[in-house]
Structure 1
């Protein structure tokens, strides 16, 4: 058996002790560092205590300009074990005493006690010298006391050696304890198991079982049981193998007899196989013929596919042309709607402007009359009172008609700009709907149709107002042209409300309505009930595309004959 290069117990012992050594080293270093910080803190406290002992005498000596006494006190401080340097300065920062290990100070005079660390293990405590006289405090100088690492080490030297010795003793004892335990509990039993396993005899496996002298039911005991069980299984397997070998001998003898019979049967089958091969050759020729026909058919299909591909390309170009035509029709519909607005607004604006011109002319004539009477000195109170009354009425009439014209132009300007642009902005929906309705008023001013708008006062949305104006315009004009064709007093209700983050617009009229067939085709392109009478059939189709694509919403229509038409439009308000 090959020898073991590195024992398992040695590996375990090495890893356990390595972890212990590292932990012990870290803990020892931490204890030494803690001891160092604690001792340093004590020394700094002692330096601060020296302030209370020597500050009074030093302050008085400097106040009285007794420099020798101050230097004598500095020398006395140097005699203290914890002091390795002393610096005493006057109020101008000039050194009175600079003894021992110190560093040059370039700062201004000290105003309060300060602890400071320096390079080379040096640290200091500085404090001002304040002399009080007649309830007045004056800073006469400052003192800096120095100490260093050597002072700290001299105090903790014994403790460090004790910590190191304690760690070494504990480590040595633990190494001895682990080595003894590993050898007795692991190494020796493993060697015994290895030796017994090495003496395995395959001819007599029952004599190769492992017998250990263990007092505990541990993993090694389990290993012994498992190995002995393997030996028992091996013995059973050997017995089965012998029985199988005997059976195999009998089977081989029967197999020889069967082979002889099989050779005879093969001779018979060979003759039949030759006939089958002839039949296969004939079928092969037929298959080659079929393959040629199939190849010709594939070539025909490939030709047809090429023709279809060319047709698809032509169809794609036709779709592009159709899309361009649809965009042009949409623009034409917008411009047609805008043209209708222009015509209606122009007529409505002419009326108040004509009244305003007439009123202004009348007022000018009355002013000329009053001016002539004034120049001829024939102006009376009655004439003046009559002029003022007429002027007030004329001015009121003039302002009323000019304001009416201004409102019409303002509404038309906003709606016209919006209908020629798809730019988005934040706007008040109710105010905008009234502007759209005011711009459409000339279209049915000679009729008695009523449009009711119900919308929250503070509903503001971010959207393209031109799109909303076009949708509302199409719905109202469709109702006037189609729904109220034989009716002069139609009623249109426009209900707007908020539902979560969406805007819900319900539009309905009391016109003639649509039947089921017309309702199904309402949003189809080029569908109109006014074919040959100027209807393009694009109004509702454009309205559907504007709602579903531009507004990212949905629109549904409901109608029955003689029960009017109702639209339900929903789109996000995006405030």
Structure 2
């Protein structure tokens, strides 16, 4: 009997244990990974908790430019077990403190608290430092606290070794149990069955049946019974074989007679096949001719396709050039609008500043006069009372004009920054529309133009404020430049409503309006009624793209000659929904 190189039971045992080893390894790794994530989440929570502990004192230290105190706070944080690195930056992104294990940060300021993973197993929590003064919040800098994989592993080290040891003990016990069970229930019975089957005698099959003592009614017992049944079937088949051999001899004689008849039929079929081959040769020649014609047609079609491909490439290049030029014109239109705001604000700011300089000069002169009278001991109660009254009036004049200049600069600063930024934020639409209107006040000085804004006081939306500023500015400036052309007065109404989750803006002026042909082309790029007079034709086109693409909304326009122009704009109040 040949020795088996790989036993069935051993192979089966190997596969079962291999699956168990893999499952045990996956489960153990999963438990370790879960423990790692849980510990990491806990450490991240502790880092967030540290924000509430020291952010107030650190914010005040940076606001007061107390750099030693800020560095001292950073060194104190480095003493905490979970902190391996501290970065403190001011509002310009310059480092005040950079201690321990840290990662280089981009210069952009941090707006909200964010947890970020870095290479090398390092992760950090960054959050801004907000200082509130006189009801206004200012970002004075940001802080980043770093921790690493070593901190996490130090906390879960004992648990990891316990999980590995537990898996090893369970695996060793299961291997011993499986090996014992496989040997008694499979290996030994299979070996006995194999030995008896190897003693099979073809000449005496009735003596080759197997007899193995198997207690359970299992597959091995069925194998024994099936093998014995095969022996019985073999004995019966041998008897049938002898009978079949006799019948086969008679059948061979009949087969020889049939072969003669078949040869005659083959000769007839061969003659018919020769005629068919001649016909096929003729069809082959015709097919070769058709293939040549088809090949020529394919070459002509390929030439035409190459020409079309070249024309398509040239057209694509032309489209790219046109898109680049359009983008440049759009950016120029936006910068031109911002430039107009700068010129108007500069003129309006110069007026209150000039009054303030004059008032300050007058107050200085009167102060020198009182000082001289005091030194000469000629100061009288009447002179002092007159000086106090003049100083009070001059101070009020100074404060009034300086406050006016401050309001103009603040409004312009917010609108100008928003028009050059695409960042989204939540803001009060009513307040923002009035800031835009205030920044456009210098434009209204060209005539008696009045703008009425109706908007809910508590309406807050989330989008890029610069988009609202650009749309509102374009509508108002188009009314002044085109609708009120050659007129010294005009009335504009801007009505804002909240309908469900949408914001509805209805804009109307009482200008000269537009005809049907011009209204149909109102939102087309480069369409303007002032061709050659400085109009680019991109204002309403930019406004249409901002509403439909950036705000994901809809815009419609209505107008008749002599009845002004009306816009209806609808967009979601929160673009994240």
Tell me the TM-score normalized by structure 2.
0.49
- Find the structure with the greater CA-based Rg: 1
The TM-score, its normalising length taken from structure 1, stands at 0.50
